[in-house]
Copies of this chain bind each other. A is one copy, B any other.
Amino acid sequence: MSDYPSLLLENAVNELSRLPGIGKKTALRLALFMLRQEKSRTDSLANSILRMREGIQLCQRCFNISDHDVCSICANPRRDENTLCIVEDMRDVMAVERTAAFNGLYHVLGGVINPIEGIGPNDLTITQLINRLNQEVFQEIILALPATVEGDTTSYYLYRQIKPGKIKITSISKGVAIGDSLEYADEVTLGRSILNRTIFDL
């Protein structure tokens, strides 16, 4: 006989515990919370998941998550079409958008090259990026990939594929975070921020 007094409950707990970071105990706590809530609230949660999985697609141009064929950024005529920012995934688009420091277009790779996890260039939207560069004209491409070995590898691979000379290729700066004291920055970061120092200009 199963531990659970209800097969329906057991089933929901099993499904919830398949989500990342959610074990059996947390899943049971969530399920009991849903049972205590109004039925309409729980229905609304489940239906929002169903509708999301049904309706969401990738933007045909930049591969960001979108409710339509073309995402709201690509469809916005006020964005600067001369600058392209290449990012790993849609969370990075959200992060860059929050800074309000960038008004160009994006290209979402869907990951970075990671041989250990078996992710190669063909698993990313790199072919689509090259096709896009043949059709659209950009003055600058900003590589905004993670400051990790995999991110740097991917940046280097893209740099070789894009063949500079025709287009200016830049990378986001890496160094001591704003508000941090040098004492607490790790050595690699501090070393790099000394090498990549910029001219101090008032």
Contact = CB atoms under 8 A, between A and B. Distances in A.
State the number of copies, please: 2
Contacts of A89: 32
Interface string A16-40: 1011110000101111111100010
Interface string A23-67: 000101111111100010111111111111111100100001111
A49 B15 contact: yes
Contact of A52 (B5, B35, B50, B71): B35
B42 A53 contact: yes
Interface stretch (A6-14, A172-180, A190-198): A6-14
Interface of A: 1, 3-9, 11-12, 14-16, 18-21, 26, 28-35, 39, 41-56, 59, 64-67, 71-73, 89-91, 93-94, 97-98
